[in-house]
Homo-oligomer: A and B are copies of this chain.
């Protein structure tokens, strides 16, 4: 059992992120970035709390073209924010039915960008603006907004060594928990009990929390991979799939394992073979300079049925880090070029029969030479429980 890395980050890590951001902002002609979601705020401030579970209060970070970020946040967060590296922390007592931070935010934006400077707001796929639409509308007039020129995506897609260490640690926790599934799941145990027990295994193994657990069970495959667990007991002949996003110090793993209740049928064995083959094909393509569409093509030629590799899932993997899923996507249309420091999931799925599927997922990092697994990859033989 490896020692966990240090919690948090050195100030130098945040300064490096800021410098990269400001260099991109200069290229894009942006006077400021306005950020409002949990990972965006955390990326620049280190502000880590589960309090985002409450939708009540908006939180903002303003990144100026020069100088340090400004946190514009509810006063309930001031104590925690002030423990980090940010010194310009402006607070209001939220919730305020009349003005829930809007004036304070507008003043900060105007101070930084003036009436003429362009303020970049993340606007593309996999982003949203975490503030009430009324507040957003109230901010218009006197300020110039545009998209963020993809800066947040470009920044967050490349993980630092310290970030990779955290993801790796989350992966090691889940690897150990998966190795113990035979102690919590067997014929007769309802799937919802398996879900509870697996979350407990992840916590025992050191997860801070378990934001995501999905799974399914069925003979020769399952119908989808996002449904909640039912009270249906596992039965001999079922394939059980568990897929977890466990978190350590704010960073996710995201991978799954398939298990056989009893012994695997021929179709399960051949399907799992194909999934492992697809992972191997992905690994052989995954190196700096290749594009996501190349990764897609490499995996798709293994798992494609009737020329259709992604079916309902829509993709064969994705980025991973501060969120369970991040850009880019392993799809035919994504021409993002792989670079060292990108952390990805490879997530092929195959139809077994009658609309049933099996899914398999591993977590990798792009290195200067190619790619490495961040978790212990699954063996070709489906583990029996």
Partner of A226 from B49, B96, B211, B333 at Cβ < 8 Å: B49
Whether A28 sits at the interface, judged by CB under 8 Å, is no
Q: Are A227's CB and B128's CB within 8 A?
A: no
Whether A369 sits at the interface, judged by CB under 8 Å, is no
Across-interface contacts of A121 in B (CB, < 8 A):
133
Whether A105 sits at the interface, judged by CB under 8 Å, is no
User: How far does the alpha carbon of A324 sit from the alpha carbon of B80 in the complex, in Å?
Assistant: 20
Whether A203 sits at the interface, judged by CB under 8 Å, is yes
Proximity string of chain A (228-255) to chain B, C-beta cutoff 8 Å, 1 when within and 0 when not = 1001000000000000010000000000
Q: Are A313's CB and B212's CB within 8 A?
A: no
Across-interface contacts of A178 in B (CB, < 8 A):
none
User: How far does the alpha carbon of A82 sit from the alpha carbon of B349 in the complex, in Å?
Assistant: 21
Across-interface contacts of A312 in B (CB, < 8 A):
75-76, 78-79, 93
Shortest C-beta distance, A99 to chain B (Å), equals 11
Which residues from 86 to 124 on chain A have a C-beta closer than 8 Å to any C-beta of chain B? 93-98, 100, 121-124
Contact A324:B128 (CB < 8 A) given known A94-B314, A224-B79, A227-B80: no
Across-interface contacts of A333 in B (CB, < 8 A):
96-98
User: How far does the alpha carbon of A188 sit from the alpha carbon of B31 in the complex, in Å?
Assistant: 50
Q: Are B324's CB and A53's CB within 8 A?
A: yes
Whether A168 sits at the interface, judged by CB under 8 Å, is no
Which residues from 200 to 226 on chain A have a C-beta closer than 8 Å to any C-beta of chain B? 200, 203-204, 206-214, 223-226
Whether A56 sits at the interface, judged by CB under 8 Å, is yes
Of A18-26, A191-199, A281-289, which stretch is located at the interface?
A191-199
Q: Are B132's CB and A123's CB within 8 A?
A: yes
Proximity string of chain A (169-184) to chain B, C-beta cutoff 8 Å, 1 when within and 0 when not = 0000000000000000
Across the two chains, which residue of chain B brings its CB closest to A245? B53
Interface of A is mostly: loop
Which residues from 42 to 74 on chain A have a C-beta closer than 8 Å to any C-beta of chain B? 48-51, 53-57, 74
Whether A271 sits at the interface, judged by CB under 8 Å, is no
Shortest C-beta distance, A369 to chain B (Å), equals 29
Shortest C-beta distance, A307 to chain B (Å), equals 14
Contact A51:B226 (CB < 8 A) given known A56-B126, A74-B314, A133-B127: yes
- What are some 25 contacts across the A-B interface (CB < 8 A)? A53-B211, A54-B324, A55-B127, A56-B329, A76-B224, A76-B225, A76-B226, A77-B226, A79-B312, A95-B125, A96-B333, A97-B334, A122-B133, A123-B137, A124-B132, A127-B132, A128-B128, A128-B131, A128-B132, A128-B133, A133-B147, A197-B203, A199-B210, A203-B203, A211-B211
Identical chains in the assembly:
2
Contact A214:B132 (CB < 8 A) given known A80-B227, A224-B80: no
Across-interface contacts of A7 in B (CB, < 8 A):
231
Whether A274 sits at the interface, judged by CB under 8 Å, is no
Across-interface contacts of A200 in B (CB, < 8 A):
200, 203-204
User: How far does the alpha carbon of A213 sit from the alpha carbon of B6 in the complex, in Å?
Assistant: 22
Across-interface contacts of A97 in B (CB, < 8 A):
125, 329, 331, 333-334
User: How far does the alpha carbon of A178 sit from the alpha carbon of B313 in the complex, in Å?
Assistant: 40
Across-interface contacts of A326 in B (CB, < 8 A):
55
Q: Are A95's CB and B315's CB within 8 A?
A: yes
User: How far does the alpha carbon of A334 sit from the alpha carbon of B56 in the complex, in Å?
Assistant: 14
Whether A276 sits at the interface, judged by CB under 8 Å, is no
